[in-house]
Amino acid sequence: MPLLHQLRKELTTLIKNICSDLIKLTYVRGTDIKNINPSNENYHVPVNKVYLGLKGSDAIQSIAAEMGEDYYMPKLCYTHGKDFVVECVKQIQERFDGVDCFHFFSSCLHPEVTYNMTVSRLKPIVTRFPYLSDDINAQELDLEWRQQALNPKLNAIMTSRDYWRVIFYEK
């Protein structure tokens, strides 16, 4: 069953959770995920406050306690951990750059939107993903899209899973 309608929410949660390990919470909470710049150190917590997990933090604190606060290794561990988190966020943002388009697409999958034809044409999807035009005839897609709204087995209050189960079963 299609779960694309959950992509934006899940992606937002993932990026914000990772960012909260290194970036001040007020910035993370108040900034859309596509606008978060993980490299902007103005919003970073102090390097020794970067969250590296319980075991990571405990290990670093043990080293600092054993070797002394001036020992370079704890700061180096936090710095490398911070760099890793920054790179993770950048990679996720880069790979899901089109999430707003996916959000538009996935919102089309909600039964209320689909059944009521709130989105009357799917051409924006085909236009946004030109590689689909090799496999999909845009006119046939629009025709099928419009026909599903007339299916007597469907209604706007069904769950996404049940709605699309009916569609797929009939295919």
CB 1 within 8 A of CB 161: yes
Q: What is the pLDDT of residue 1?
A: 41
pTM beyond cutoff 0.75: no
Q: What is the pLDDT of residue 40?
A: 96
- Domain-by-domain residue ranges, the chain? 4-95, 108-170
Q: Which long-range contacts (C-beta less than 8 Å, at least 24 apart) are formed by 116-125?
A: 116/149, 116/156, 117/146, 117/149, 120/146, 121/145, 125/101
37 neighbors 90 (Cβ within 8 angstroms): no
Which tokens in the block code for residue 14?
């993932």
Rounded CA-CA distance 69/108 in Å is 56
DSSP labels, 22-63:
TB-HHHHHHS-GGG--TT-GGGBPPGGG---HHHHHHHHHHH
pLDDT per residue of the chain (171 residues) written in tens, 0 to 9: 445 556 677 888 999 999 999 999 999 999 988 889 999 999 999 988 899 999 988 888 898 888 877 788 888 888 999 999 999 999 888 877 655 655 666 677 778 888 888 888 877 777 777 776 777 788 888 888 888 889 999 999 998 889 889 988 887
What local confidence, expressed as pLDDT, does residue 90 receive? 93
CA distance 94 to 146: 34
Written as six digits, the tokens of 60 are: 């670093």
